[in-house]
Structure 1
Amino acid sequence: MKIEDLKKKLGTLQSFIYFDENNFLREKCSDEDVIQNVISEFESAILKWSNPFPLEDLLFFYGTIGNLYRIKGEVKPAIEALSKAVELSEGNNQISNLIRLGEALKYAGKHQQALSKFNAAIDQCAKQENSQLLDFAYQHKGKCLLEIEEIGEADECFRKAMDLRVQKGDESLIDSTQRALNFIKRYGGLE
């Protein structure tokens, strides 16, 4: 199977992935078998690949497999795959993989380690003068802070993410942050 075919399969998963309003807006899946089938296809493709992977493809595989395991709730293989992706990556790839690894650590209940990864992503954005992923880093850091009941800091992160997302003009990202701000109002009583 070609990598393009595997990428197309990821698009079919969106209808099975949702944000759980009852669990701090964590990503969950409505059909774990569908996600497991895609994970298995990705893992099988890695084993069957005859040529050495280009680094970009290898990062895509590790990042995708780790992210899908996290959504499925299997944090150990998620952390392993995403740690490998962070180790191999640099630049924007490293920033996105730090955010994904932070999420996996958060799902594993390792909130301080997760915050460390989100802060590293924020620092990398500043060093590279790259705000393209900064809103994601703030959004995910905010969700982590929310889970450990650091409501004021979480609100601050969501507001920074919102400012950046309004500048981007991406309505789906703005909506995602607005849901987080609405959640924080209900959960933490902030206005």
Structure 2
Amino acid sequence: MQYPRTAHLQRRMLWSNCSVRPGFASAIALEHPVDVPPEPADRSQTAVGVAFGYLGDDSTWWYQEVHRGLRGGGLSRDEATSFLSDYDEVSEVHVRPGRQGHGVGRRLLGCLLDQLTSGQALLSTPEVPDEDNAAWTLYRATGFRDVLRNFRFGSDPRPFGVLALDRGQRTMS
């Protein structure tokens, strides 16, 4: 997502906090020789992608922001709360730019979704014209549908799409 370098420490702390959330699941893609099994502790193997998520609940900032967006989109408080009552948040899916377009993101997302157990998976991703980037292509190919478009989180001036995948509606593995 091209965060500025100053945001790296903040993101690291955020990711660390996410790792202890209920239902946390993750996947990592490592570049390694064909004849050597992947091993995260092996410093000669390079991480080329990561994905993680966890059980969504009303205590998170993301839930509160999306709930606000759903209300702003016309849902009642009860309808918005019901929609967000059974979901996993796909918090991060990142693939190094030079490795995008080779199926790494698809495999990471598939591995993550296989570990998540709620009725639906939700995520947010920055809007781009005509959905013309690797992330949007991946999410659409997987079966994610629109929940909110051009939504603005309180802490980021960029517009985002909030997308949902109903369990059982996944179109690729």
**TM norm. shorter chain > 0.5:** no
Calculate the TM-score normalised by the size of structure 1.
0.28
Q: Which has the higher contact order (CA 8 A, sep 6+)?
A: 2
Structure that is richer in strand per residue: 2
TM-score normalised according to structure 2 size:
0.30
Higher helix share: 1
